[in-house]
């Protein structure tokens, strides 16, 4: 029987630094989708309080330590780096093997993403802790402003090379324009 070795889908591509911008793979150990059954959002929020989190408001994230609960759509959130609470009030799906996270940071990270996403990512419109489910090029992503000058993008693992290519091209263009 063949011996398989798990590899990151970004192996050999990241980390990448261009000018003052850095793109790196920050895929968490665990990503879980949580979708409360109709009328059960408060019950799920109470269960998440045991983790020091709660149910996030639309377009927002709740973060405690290394764990986060990110709004990812109507009646859906991604629980990151935490064991999901046992609750019969929600559908819970482990996405860990199918998703990855890329973090772009640097003073002009929002300007890089502005070339690729149809969302105003200025600090005033998209403050730290904000989330948005949107398109990046032709890929669907969940964007989380994880720090004042950093954005974490959650996307399908199969789109890793395409996402890195798109982000690298935008990083190069922005850096060249500034020079």
* pLDDT per position as a tens digit, 107-119: 999 999 999 999 9
CA distance 50 to 65: 14
Is pLDDT above 90 for 3?
Answer: no
Question: What distance in Å separates the CA atoms of residue 89 and residue 38, rounded to the nearest whole number?
Answer: 9
Q: Is the pLDDT of residue 1 over 80?
A: no
- The burial of 50, by beta-carbon neighbours within 10 Å (0-12 exposed, 13-18 middle, 19 or more buried), is given as exposed
Cα gap 139→115, rounded to integer Å: 14
Q: How confident is residue 6, by pLDDT bands cut at 50, 70 and 90?
A: confident
**pTM of the shown model:** 0.95
- What the block records as the tokens of 40 is 């059960």
% the chain with pLDDT above 70: 100
pLDDT in tens, 109-163: 999 999 999 999 999 999 999 999 999 989 999 999 999 999 999 999 999 999 9
Asked if residue 169 has pLDDT above 80, the reply is yes
């Amino acid at each position: 029987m063949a011996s398989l070795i798990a590899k990151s889908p970004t192996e050999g591509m990241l980390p990448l630094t261009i000018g003052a911008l850095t793109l790196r793979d920050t895929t968490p150990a665990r990503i879980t989708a949580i979708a409360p059954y109709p009328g059960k959002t408060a019950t799920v929020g109470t269960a998440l309080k045991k983790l020091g989190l709660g149910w996030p408001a639309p377009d927002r994230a709740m973060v405690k330590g290394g764990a986060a609960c990110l709004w990812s759509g109507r009646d859906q959130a991604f629980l990151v780096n935490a064991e999901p609470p046992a609750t019969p009030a929600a559908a819970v799906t482990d996405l860990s093997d199918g998703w990855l996270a890329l973090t772009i940071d640097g003073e002009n990270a929002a300007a890089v993403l502005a070339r690729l996403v149809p969302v105003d990512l200025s600090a005033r419109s998209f403050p730290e802790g904000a989330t948005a489910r949107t398109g990046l090029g032709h890929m669907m992503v969940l964007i989380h402003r994880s720090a004042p000058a950093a954005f974490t993008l959650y996307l399908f693992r199969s789109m890793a090379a395409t996402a890195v290519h798109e982000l690298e091209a935008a990083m190069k263009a922005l850096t060249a324009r500034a020079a």
